[in-house]
Copies of this chain bind each other. A is one copy, B any other.
Amino acid sequence: MAGNSRQAGTSVTSRALAILSAFDEQHRTLSLSDIATRADLPLATTHRLLGELHRWGALDRLPSGEYVIGRRIWDIGHLAPTETGLRQVAEPFLHDLYGATLATVHLAVREGTEVVYLDRLRGNQSVPVVSKVGGRLPLHTTGVGKVLLAHAPAEVQDAVLASLTRITPYTITQPGALRRQLRQVLDKGYATTHEEMSLGACSIAVPVHRHDEVVASLGLVVPTLKGSEQRLYGALHVAAQSIGRRL
């Protein structure tokens, strides 16, 4: 039989990791064939490696035969500094901010030209949001994103402003308009959005500093900022200062 007509230069480890990479937010449950396709691996190879990942707990197999990310990955994911550093320090402040405002609370960082959500608190009465912990959204359409973009290096700003995707009719897609807003973010110390990411959702966000560096952004999402902008800014600012002092 055939076999051993392998792709030269590909390690076993990189194949196993390619299998893990096949999963994303749009693909949380995958069949063996799906994984083989997405990881660009032969079926037999995929089958063998899936068996090993499953035995260790990196993946689980559903009764339907499909695979999902396993508890073991969730477990060791919690050992990442992302989890034990900024998030852990910020956590009680986020909870207090939620308790004080009952608005959706976000803690986010910039990664390249995107926002990554490290934490999110929301109640049943909160404005529906599309953010997810671990998920990514654009920098130009979110409050936390505008804060992070305003404090980003020029080359990041240039890259983002060269490609402003419209998400709602209110999304800012003119580079000039966004640049003016980013300057205002630096002047005022906070950013706002008005239905630019989701209809019915407005937001306000502030930077979290470690020494002089902006390491994260803290934000709130509410139905409207009318009449509450300064109050929310005050609460955010205090929380962000407290977090920054503990870092």
**Which residues from chain A sit less than 8 Å from chain B, CB to CB?**
11-14, 16-17, 20-21, 23-25, 28, 49, 52-53, 56, 58, 60, 68-71, 73-84, 91-93, 95-96, 98-99, 102, 121-126, 132-135
Among A17, A25, A92, A125, max chain B CB count under 10 A is at A17
Q: Is the CB of B14 within 8 A of A12?
A: no
Q: Is the CB of B82 within 8 A of A74?
A: yes
Q: Is the CB of B69 within 8 A of A80?
A: yes
Q: Is the CB of B122 within 8 A of A91?
A: yes
Taking CB atoms, residues of chain B closer than 8 Å to A83 are 74, 133-134
A71–B85 CA distance with the chains assembled, in angstroms: 12
Q: Is the CB of B24 within 8 A of A79?
A: yes
Taking CB atoms, residues of chain B closer than 8 Å to A99 are 98-99, 102, 123
Q: Is the CB of A133 within 8 A of B78?
A: yes
19 inter-chain pairs at a CB distance below 8 angstroms, sorted by A residue, are A13-B16, A13-B52, A17-B56, A20-B76, A23-B79, A28-B79, A28-B81, A28-B84, A69-B80, A70-B80, A74-B77, A78-B134, A92-B126, A95-B126, A96-B124, A96-B125, A98-B98, A99-B123, A121-B121
